[in-house]
Amino acid sequence: MKPIITSTELLEIFNQENLVILDSRTGNKAKENYLDNHLKGARFIDLDKDLAEIGENAAFGGRHPLPKISNFAETLQNLGISEDSHIVVYDLANGGNAAARCWWMLRAFGIEKVQVLSGGFQAAEKAGIPTNSREEIFEKASFVLRENWSLPTSTLENVEKEIAKNSATVIDVRDAYRYRGESEPIDLVAGHIPGAINIPFSENLDENGEFLSPKILKEKYQNLLSDASTSLSMTKKLIIHCGSGVTACHTILALDYAGFPIPNLYVGSWSEWSRREGKEIAREV
């Protein structure tokens, strides 16, 4: 199953019995705004509470560390997700960042039938997919629990060692001005991990905020990474990171959509690296 679904394709399967739609919008009033208007049948999943387990010190784990897999399993059961569910995730802003994080976690949990809605809620509404403004009612589900996340991840120590050995290509998907160190709107320090290259996640999208085609994405990343003396045939390990391990999943999703192997996610990302005492910080200003 391809990891991206269009609004037209979702409309065609909208009444499918095993379809579970997840609304992963973010913001201070995310749940309130969800209740005001969401795709009919969509169940709300919270980035900060369900897709992360935020600790006291972001220097160890970053701003959005992964939750315990047992806690995520409980979240999925409470959302009525079972082994045979076909899950479609959407959000509202930034071209699908939170939805991509949800996709990554579902795939890492071992669920295969999961897709991100290209263009999110706005594209779906424009395509005529029904909406609702009330709490959705659904039953809890059960499934076989997992012991570990099944997709590859890297720790801060892994990233540091791979860069030192020149055995990995580390991609920072944040906006270029943040990577260059011009300013930093979220974390405490501006700049980037020494040795990381910058390919902003926004380059995965077209002018309408929808994902580029797999063909275009494949050509794009092959060309970009040839400049880094590597390739996506994995002559080097590929490690993707962002600010807090959310937006990085957007590029991992795009790479999977383009037909490449799923690369490593550095979950702690810049929010962890920039706070960890003694870590070198690079700037281009």
- CA 1 to the chain's CA centroid: 18
What integer pLDDT is reported at residue 231 of this predicted model?
47
- Kindly state whether residues 122 and 180 are assigned to the same domain: no
DSSP label at 231? Answer: -
Residue 93 is given by DSSP the state: S
Same-domain pairing of 54 and 165: no
- The CATH number covering residue 250 comes to 3.40.250.10
Give pLDDT tens digits for 76-130. 999 999 988 999 999 987 689 999 999 999 999 999 999 999 999 999 999 999 9
233 has a pLDDT exceeding 80 = no
44 & 158 share domain: no
Contacts (Cβ under 8 Å, ≥6 apart) of 229: none
pLDDT score at 227: 61
pTM of the model: 0.95
* Cα–Cα dist 94/119, whole Å: 10
99 and 189 housed in the same domain:
no
The pLDDT-based confidence of 230 (bands split at 50, 70, 90) is: very low
> pLDDT tens digits, residue range 142-189?
877 888 999 999 999 999 999 999 899 999 999 999 999 999 999 999
Residue 252's SS3 state is helix
Average pLDDT over residues 208-233: 81
Q: Which of 100, 132, 164 is the last residue of a domain?
A: 132
Among all residues, which ones are annotated catalytic? Answer: 242
What's the mean pLDDT in 61-83?
95
**Beta partners for 132?**
38
Average pLDDT over residues 251-261: 96
Domain count, the chain: 2
Q: From 171, 154, 145, 138, select the one nearest 40 (Cα to Cα).
A: 138
Number of H helices, E strands in the chain: 10, 12
Q: Are residues 124 and 214 in the same domain?
A: no
- From residue 189, alpha-carbon distances to 56, 128, 174 in Å are 18, 44, 14
The residue type of 264 is N
* Distance from C-alpha of 126 to C-alpha of 182, rounded to nearest angstrom: 37
Both 14 and 119 in one domain: the answer is yes
Domain that holds residue 20: 4-132
The reply to whether 176 and 269 lie within a common domain is yes
Residue 228: CB atoms within 10 A of its CB come to 14
Amino acid at 258: A
Question: What six digits make up the tokens of 111?
Answer: 């669920």
- Least Cα distance to 169 among 223, 217, 222, 225 occurs for 225
Same domain, 109 and 161: no
Residue 53 and residue 87 in one domain: yes
Which amino acid does the sequence have at 98? Answer: A
Of 99, 132, 165, which residue constitutes the final position of a domain? 132
Dihedral sign, Cα of residue 56, residue 171, residue 252, residue 129 = positive
- Distance, in Å, from the CA atom of 121 to the CA atom of 92, rounded to the nearest integer, reads 6
Residue 279 lies inside a defined structural domain of this protein = no
Is there a single domain that holds both residue 71 and residue 177? Answer: no
Residue 123 lies in a domain: yes
CB 279 within 8 A of CB 195: no
Tokens, residue 17: 């019995």
111 shares a domain with 176: no
Q: Is residue 104 one of the residues assigned to a domain?
A: yes
Does pLDDT of 213 surpass 70?
yes
